[in-house]
Amino acid sequence: MNREGTLYKAVLLGVLCAVCGLLLGGVNALTEPIITEAAIANEKANLELIYPGASFAAQDFTDDSGYVQGVYSAEGKGMIYKIHATGYNSEGFTFLLAFNDDGSVGGFKVLEENETGGFGKRCFEDPYVSEVNALTSNDSAPLLSGATLTSTAIQKGFAAASALFNSRK
Amino acid sequence: MSTASEKKQGFWREMIYNNPVFGLYLGICSTLAITTTLNNAIGMGIAVIVVLTVSNIVISLLAPITPDEIHIPVYIVVIATLVTVVGMLMQAYTPTLYSTLGTFIDLIVVNCIILGRAEAYASSHNVAESARDGLMMGLSYTFSLIAMSLIRQILGTGLLEFSNPMSNQVIFSLRLIPEAFVIPVFTTQTGAFLTFAVLAAAVAAIKNNDEKKEAAALKAKADAEKAAKAAAAKAAAKPVKEAA
C-alpha cells in the first residue's frame, strides 16, 4: 500500500483507534466494578441511615431534571435517591429519599443543609419530615408556609425521584 | 538548550538543565494548580511519568510507519488513550487522589511536555532512547512538583504530611512551623506563582553561573593555547636567529 495514499492513512488511523478502543474496553471492564464498589462504600454510611444492614448497589439512571445525583438499590427493601436541590441558601442542600418496594416512602434524611433556622430548616424537622415519610411515590411533597423556597425545592426533588422510581416499575 | 547544558550529563544536572517546568516553562498550568500537597505532587508526577514513558515508546514504534500528514492525530490518539487508562486506574485504586486532582488528570492529554517530547524526541529516536527520555522528563516534572509542593505545604500549613493514596491513611505528619507562624497565602494561587517564580529564578541562576564558569574556562583554555602557540613560534624562531 502506498504510504502517502489516503487509504493507507485511513487504515492506519482506523487500526490505531480500534486497538486503543480494545485497550480502553479491557481496562474499563477491569476497573468499573471497583469504581462502583468504591462509590457505594463512600455512600454506604449514609444509605445505612435509611436501610440498616441492607445490601446496596449503585444503579444507572437518566434524570433530565438535574436533581437526582445518585440512585442505589437496597436488596429486598427498596430504592434510595440522593437529591441535591436549592432552596433559600444558594449552595443548596442534599438529602436522601427512599421508596420501599411497595411505593411508600422508606425514609427522608438530610445530609447537608445550611437553610435559615426557624424558616427553611423546618423542612428537615418534624412535623414536615413525618409528613414526607407518610407519602407514596404517587404523591407530591407538601409545601411549608414560611419555608416556601426550601419546601418547593424538596417537592421538585421528590417529583424527580418518584418519576424515576415509577418508571422502573 | 545551551552549550553548557548539553555537556551536563549527571542525573541532578539533567533534573535542572532539562527541567521541563523551571527550565523550559512547560506544563506550568497543572504545576501551579495541584502543588498544594505532597500527595498531589507525587500522584500527578507518577501519572505523568507513566503516560510520558509509554507514549514515547509507542510513538517511537509507530514513527516509521506514520506519514507526516497524520502524525499529530496519531500522537493524540495514543496519548489520550494512555491518559484515560491512567485516569480509570486512579479512579479505581486511588479514588481520593483522583477526586483531589480532578480534571487535571484528564488535562494531561494537552500537557505540552507529553506532546512536545513526542514531536521533538520520540518521533526521531529509537525505543530505548525514547523510553529513557520519557522517564527522565517525567522524573524532572515530578521533581519540580515535589519541590513546589514541599515549599507550599510547609509554609502554608506548617506541616510535612504524606498519606497513603490508596487508603488515605496518614503515613507521616510532622509539624515544622507552629500554627501561629504559617503563611496561608502559600496554599492559594498567589503562593503558587510566588513559589514558581523563586524556583524558576534559582534554576536560571544556577544555569547562568555554570555558563559563566564554562565561558571563563573556555577563555582560559583559549588563552593557554594562544600562549603555547606563541611560545612554540618563539622557540622555533630562536635557532634560526642564532644560526644567522
| Residue B152 within any structural domain of the chain | yes
Quick one: closest CA in A to B99, which residue? A39
C-alpha radius of gyration, chain B, whole number: 24
Hey, are the CB atoms on B95 and A35 less than 8 Å from each other?
A: yes
- B77:A17 CB<8 A: yes
3-state class of B66 per DSSP? coil
Eight-class DSSP state of A116: P
Q: Is B5 on the interface with A (CB under 8 A)?
A: no
pLDDT tier at B210 (50, 70, 90 boundaries)?
A: confident
Average pLDDT over every residue of B121-139: 91
What residues of chain B lie within 8 A of the CB of A35, using their CB? Answer: 88, 91-92, 95
Cβ contact, residue pair A35, B62, below 8 Å: no
What residues of chain A lie within 8 A of the CB of B73, using their CB?
13
Instruction: Decide if pLDDT at A118 tops 70.
Output: yes
| DSSP code at position A111 | E
What does the pLDDT read at residue A144? 80
| Interchain pair A16, B88: CB under 8 A | no
Q: Which chain A residues contact residue B70 at CB under 8 A?
A: 9, 12-13
Asked if the structure places residue B232 within a domain, the reply is: no
Using the Cα atoms of residue B120, residue B122, residue B125 and residue B130 in order, give the sign of their dihedral. Answer: positive
Comparing alpha-carbon positions, the chain B residue that sits nearest to A33 is B92
pLDDT over 90 (residue B81): yes
pLDDT band at A147 (very low <50, low <70, confident <90, very high): confident
Domain for residue B84, yes or no? yes
Q: Show residues of chain A in contact with B62, CB under 8 Å.
A: 16
Residue of B69, B81, B92 lying closest to A24 (CB–CB): B81
Other Cβ atoms closer than 10 A to B24:
17
| Residue at B225 is within a domain | no
C-alpha cell at A53: 444492614
Q: Residue B236: its pLDDT value, please? A: 82
Q: How many CB pairs under 8 A join A and B?
A: 51
Output Rg (C-alpha) for chain A, integer angstroms: 22
Please name the amino acid found at residue B64: P
pLDDT value at position B9? 58
DSSP bridge partners of A79: A73, A99
Query: Which of A63-67, B9-13, B76-80, B96-100 shows the lowest per-residue confidence on average (mean pLDDT)?
Result: B9-13
Cβ pair B67:A17 closer than 8 A: no
Q: What is the pLDDT of residue A31?
A: 93
Long-range contacts formed by A134-137: CB under 8 A, 24+ apart: A134/A105, A135/A104, A135/A105, A136/A99, A136/A103, A136/A104, A136/A105, A137/A99, A137/A103, A137/A104, A137/A105, A137/A162, A137/A165, A137/A166
Looking at every residue in chain A, the average pLDDT score rounds to 85
Chain A residues bordering chain B (beta-carbon distance below 8 Å): 3-4, 8-9, 12-13, 16-17, 20, 23-24, 27-28, 30-31, 34-35, 38, 42
Please report the pLDDT score of residue B101 as a whole number. Answer: 84
Contacts of B84 in chain A (CB under 8 A): 24, 27
Specify if B227 maps to a domain.
no
Q: Which residue has the higher pLDDT, B195 or A168?
A: B195
Which string of DSSP letters, residue by residue, matches A22-59? HHHHHHHHHHHHHHHHHHHHHHHHHHTTTSTT--EEE-
- Number of helical H runs and strand E runs in chain A: 3, 5
Q: Which of A164-168, B26-30, B217-221 has the highest mean pLDDT?
A: B217-221
Nearest-angstrom CA–CA distance, A55 and B138: 43
Distance CA A81, CA A72 (A): 6
Please answer yes or no on whether B89 and A27 come within 8 Å at the CB atom.
yes
The rounded distance, in Å, linking the Cα atoms of B195 and B182 is 15
Residue whose C-alpha is closest to residue B103's, from B163, B50, B30, B42 = B30
Residue B239 lies inside a defined structural domain of this protein: no
CB contact under 8 A, B89 and A4: no
Give the DSSP H/E element, type plus range, for residue A105.
strand A105-112
Closest-CA distance, B38 to chain A, in angstroms, reads 24
Please identify which residue in the block is written with the cell numbers 497524520.
B70
Apex CA A110: angle with CA A109 and CA A113, to 5°? 175
Q: What is the pLDDT of residues A11-29, one digit of tens each?
A: 999 999 999 999 999 999 9
d(CA B70, CA B76): 10
Which of A4-8, A73-77, A80-84, A141-145 tops mean pLDDT?
A80-84
B242 touches chain A (CB under 8 A): no
Section A39-66 average pLDDT: 80
Given CB atoms, is B91 within the 8 Å cutoff of chain A? yes
Asked if B95 and A8 come within 8 Å (Cβ–Cβ), the reply is: no
- Regarding an ipTM greater than 0.85, the answer is no
Whether A16 sits inside 8 A of B69 (CB atoms) is: no
Alpha helices in chain B (DSSP H): 3-7, 11-17, 28-34, 38-62, 71-93, 95-101, 103-106, 112-120, 127-157, 189-243
- Number of structural domains (chain B) is 1
Instruction: Give, as one character, the DSSP assignment of residue B123.
Output: G
In eight-state DSSP terms, residue B137 is H
Residue B128 domain flag: yes
CA distance B26 to chain A (A): 27
Residue A70 β-bridge partners: A82
Domain of residue B101 covers 3-203
Q: Do B93 and A3 touch (CB under 8 A)?
A: no
CA angle, B7 then B126 then B138, to 5°:
60
**Preferred mutation among A11, A19, A35 to probe B, highest tally of B CBs within 10 A:** A35
How far is residue B139 CA from its own chain's centroid?
Answer: 6
> Please, which pLDDT band fits residue B3 given cuts at 50, 70 and 90?
very low
